[in-house]
Chains A and B, each alone.
Chain A
């Protein structure tokens, strides 16, 4: 059973560029969330997508945007990259209908972004 898969695993960008990160949720899951984990910090919630709509958002600027496709996969886009955007970006999935297991997210291994 494939878990959450993310691509690319590593990438390097320069300031001002744009980046797109991709995520395929665990089979059977319909909700995708994105987290940013800076070095030495815990993951920080960016936003959550369900039924192709952004359902909840953390304290991140509009430079961070996302999308969810009909097959439940998702993309995270970051525009006008800053040095401070360098981090591990984690995608997590869950099943909305199964709220007996609420908050029990399945995480991918992440995409490590370095901004130079």
Chain B
């Protein structure tokens, strides 16, 4: 039972354009959502997060949008850079105070010149 779904296994975007990565979830009790980025041979690194009481959080080039009614969140990267090429994981938790995260299967982003 996949509670967090990333239906696009890959995405290819030209440098300078916007990258939009999508994530859907099924459990309405999720309280906190995060995006992690993973380069080959490295562990995932935290990118940005959003609480369920908000609908948008922005950090530099990265913005996460949350639509609770649709159980959907998205990560926008503007402008995209070649160094953004990585696998992006969406994750959710039931409690702000837990390290138990439920991850999606990831989306591989490739940013080409």
Residues of B within 8 A of A90 (CB): 43-44
Report how many A-B pairs have Cβ atoms within 8 Å.
68
In the bound complex, CA of A44 to CA of B32 (Å): 17
| Per-position 1/0 for B68-109, Cβ under 8 A of A | 000000000000000000000101010011111111111000
Is B43 touching A4 in the complex (CB atoms < 8 A)? Answer: yes
Contact of A104 with B105 in the complex, beta carbons under 8 Å: no
Residue of B nearest to A48 (CB): B99
Q: Which residues of B contact A33 (CB under 8 A)?
A: 99-100
Size class of A's contact patch?
20 to 34
Closest to A99 in B: B97
- Which of A12-20, A60-68, A106-114 sits within the interface? A106-114
**Category for how many chain B residues contact A:** 20 to 34
Contact B100 A45 (CB under 8 A): yes
A43 lies within 8 A of B97 (CB): no
CA distance A43 to B91 in the complex (A): 9
Confirm or deny: A92 has a beta carbon within 8 angstroms of a beta carbon on chain B. yes
Q: Which of A42, A56, A58 contacts B105 (CB under 8 A)?
A: A42
**Beta-carbon contact of B104 and A92 below 8 Å:** no
Note all chain A residues with C-beta closer than 8 A to B103.
Answer: 42-44
